[in-house]
A and B are shown apart, each in its own frame.
Chain A
Amino acid sequence: MATLTRNDIEIATRAADHFTRLYYSTYDSPTRVNDLPNFYRPTSTVTWNGNPCEGSDGVKKVMEGMPSTKHEVQSFDCHPIPGSQPPSLLVTVSGNVVHGKGTAGNPVSTPSRSVDGQPRVFAQTFMLVPDPTAPPVKPGEVAKYYIGADAMRFVG
């Protein structure tokens, strides 16, 4: 089994940084219903708070019913998974997310100590895998990756 080089770790970290920026800015954008499924493939396995959805189409359906979001990534980490070349990447993200209009969308009668509309803590883990059928289009691009697995939960 191949061991990880420093270069593998650097590439993986940059990829995770780039990915989390792209992913959540797309998620929070008005074009997300059409754009977010591009990160997935028909074979991707995805759960949203314990609800499974199959592939890009499943993600699209979930996004169609989703209120507007604003994510804030507070922590992320990434490991290259030894065994494949290029390696798959395990990315974990911890942060918070505001849905809809947040507290501003609560009725005026809402008590000030209510948690409704407040940001939720979310935890999301991705398995990013190389797509051997998608040729790299840019110089320097070692491979095109997609989300093979994605588990998201509200955790606070």
Chain B
Amino acid sequence: MLKPLTIGLLAVSAVLAVIAGHHLVRRKVVDDLMIIVSAIIEVGLLVMLVVGLGKSGAIADGGEKATFIAYLFTVLLVLPATIYIAIKERGQWAMAIMVSGALVVMILIGRLQQVWSMNG
């Protein structure tokens, strides 16, 4: 489903993970750059949600379709929750949380692609 968007989202999420890793080493906190990159990912994920919902009828199995739709919504929530937790945490662990959040987004996008390619 939407290969270019999937690959683009994976790439930007990887960029976010790298920025967070850099900030972790430099002992920085959540900054505007991270918020902007996260916002770009969220916009991409919104597009994915709309396209995905539109195409979800192609998945015949009810359970698989529900999984697909659930992933579409869940992946949208990960970064806002991650940023919220990372801002509350003032120490170095904030950036470890951001790295994890970016990786989780990548895993969920991968899972979405997997469910789609097996059923769509």
A binds B: no
B residues with a Cβ closer than 8 A to A are none
A residues with a Cβ closer than 8 A to B are none
